[in-house]
């Protein structure tokens, strides 16, 4: 499932089909979300009426927080903001707002620092032949 977008879409559809128990359905959504965060967020947003009962009241904040907690793609921020504005009550957005800033920071680190760190590691790591 991690590499196959078609299989991921089938798993998302299965999650809201009513076939698996709610706990399994929630796990399916989260699992696909790790490998395909954009597709999962879009699916959740467009099928909110079927997804919300799986997570209970306040579930939108929990779902959004998971995306914000692990995200590092600044391009997802507008989509996450749209989801939050549509489904998360203003009173429960504090953690999400903080973590949205973290996504921006992580994206900056990836683009500005990761290459620099990789070059330093390569330059400062002895080759296997020298051991």
pLDDT 10s digits, 55-68:
877 777 777 777 66
80 and 105 part of one domain = yes
Question: Is residue 39 within 8 Å of residue 59, measured between CB atoms?
Answer: no
pTM score: 0.68
Closest CA to 97 of 69, 126, 56, 55: 69
- Same domain for 22 and 51? yes
Q: Is residue 46 part of a domain?
A: yes
Which domain does 15 fall in, by range?
A: 1-55
Task: Out of 9, 24, 55, pick the residue that ends a domain.
Answer: 55
Rounded Cα distance between 80 and 10, Å, is 22
Number of structural domains found in the chain:
2
Domain boundary among 55, 76, 95: 55
- Residue 131 located in a structural domain: no
One domain, residues 46 and 79: no
What per-residue confidence (pLDDT) applies to 116? 84
Q: Using an 8 Å Cβ cutoff, are 48 and 87 in contact? A: yes
Co-location of 24 and 62 in the same domain: no
- 130 assigned to some structural domain: no
pLDDT in the model for residue 14:
95
Residue 130 above 60 pLDDT? no
pLDDT band at 127 (very low <50, low <70, confident <90, very high): low
Mark whether 65 and 113 lie in a shared domain. Answer: yes
- Taking the C-alpha atoms of residue 106 and residue 90, their distance in angstroms, rounded to an integer, is 25
Could you say which of 23, 38, 55 is where a domain stops? 55
pLDDT 10s digits, 9-53: 999 999 999 999 988 988 888 888 888 888 888 998 899 888 888
**pLDDT tens track for 79-110:** 888 888 888 888 777 777 777 778 778 888 88
- What is the Cα–Cα distance from 48 to 65, expressed in whole angstroms? 16
């Amino acid at each position: 499932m991690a590499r196959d977008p078609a299989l991921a879409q089938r798993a998302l559809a299965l999650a809201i089909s009513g076939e698996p128990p709610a706990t399994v359905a929630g796990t399916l959504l989260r699992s696909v979300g790790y490998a395909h965060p954009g597709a999962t967020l879009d699916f959740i947003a467009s099928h909110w009426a079927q997804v919300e009962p799986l997570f209970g009241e306040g579930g939108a904040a929990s779902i959004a927080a998971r995306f914000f907690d692990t995200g590092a793609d600044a391009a997802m921020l507008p989509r996450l903001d749209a989801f939050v504005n549509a489904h998360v009550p203003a009173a429960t957005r504090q953690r999400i707002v903080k973590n949205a800033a973290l996504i921006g920071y992580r994206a900056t680190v990836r683009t500005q620092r990761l290459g620099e760190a990789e070059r330093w590691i390569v330059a400062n790591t002895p080759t296997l032949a020298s051991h």
